[in-house]
Amino acid sequence: MDIGGNLRWIKERIAAAEKRSGRPAGAVMLLAVSKTFGAGEVLAAYDAGQRDFGENRVQEWREKAPLLPEDCRWHIIGRLQTNKVKYLDSHVRLIHSLDRFPLLQVLQTAGEKKGLVWPALVEVNIANDEAKAGLPRGEVGDFLAAAADFPAIEIRGLMTIGPFGAPCAEIREVFRSLRRLQGELRARNIPGAAGLAELSMGMSQDFEAAVEEGATIVRVGALLFGERQYYREEA
């Protein structure tokens, strides 16, 4: 697996999608989804210039991060269990899956204890898919208003997952809906909504469409690292 070559190819495709959609070069961050891959694969991507890596499980991140360079920027992209928040530290650059009030409360407590502010994205279930996590579209405004009372959380944007295996037009409409929601929330002047600069959407199968529809972060794993490996988290 030529991880360095894959990284260059993915970045070229992102740059081409930026150009096609009239966006400035470098408008979109590539997040390398390193979940289930070992430190060796992550280091190969790091040596090729990648710095932002996404992990689903806190335990896996804790095992992997000490084996890698200090300047890796770690993102928690999976559903964050409240009992795992206590393990987070300043190496976590962004939480992509803020999706419920109890998690706000636990993050606030941990932030106060550690003297940290957690940058986070609100996960939105735009497609109303019962199999996916995330807040329904209609609840996001109230959630943002409530989050304004939690100073240890800095909400920087929104995240969604496109429907797997759906036609391209359907996937694009999900991405457009998230972008429209971003604009609507900003226009409502909800406390905590003014800084919704980030849109995390798009994965290996649809990241170019996501770039063209306004993503600022795309999450790519399989195209970079290859077939995903098995990982079991201990209780």
The confidence band for 235, taking pLDDT boundaries of 50, 70 and 90, is: very low
**How many other C-beta atoms are found inside a 10 Å radius of the C-beta of residue 146?**
13
On whether the CB atoms of residues 185 and 122 are closer than 8 A, the answer is no
Say how far apart CA 36 and CA 221 lie, in whole Å.
10
- Name which of 41-50, 99-108, 156-165, 184-193 the model is least confident about: 184-193
E-state strands within 118-169: 118-123, 153-159
Residues in the chain: 235
Whether domain 3-220 has CATH 3.20.20.10: yes
Contact predicate 173/131, CB 8 Å: no
Q: pTM of the prediction?
A: 0.93
pLDDT of residue 129 exceeding 90: no
What's the chain's average pLDDT? 93
Residue 233 has pLDDT above 50, yes or no: no
Helix, strand, or coil here: 106?
helix
Cβ pair 181, 124 in contact under 8 A: yes
Residue 229 has what pLDDT?
Answer: 59
**Could you give the CA distance from residue 182 to residue 186 in angstroms, rounded to a whole number?**
6
Structural domain spans, the chain: 3-220
Is 75 in a helix, a strand, or coil?
strand
- Alpha-carbon distance 213 to 57, whole Å? 28
Reported confidence tier of residue 195, pLDDT bands at 50, 70, 90: confident
As a whole number of angstroms, the distance between CA 75 and CA 156 comes to 13
* Residue 52: strand, helix, or coil: strand
Per residue in 105-127, pLDDT (tens digit) is 999 999 999 999 999 999 999 97
Encode 129-144: b = buried (16+ Cβ within 10 Å), e = exposed: eeebebbebeebbebb
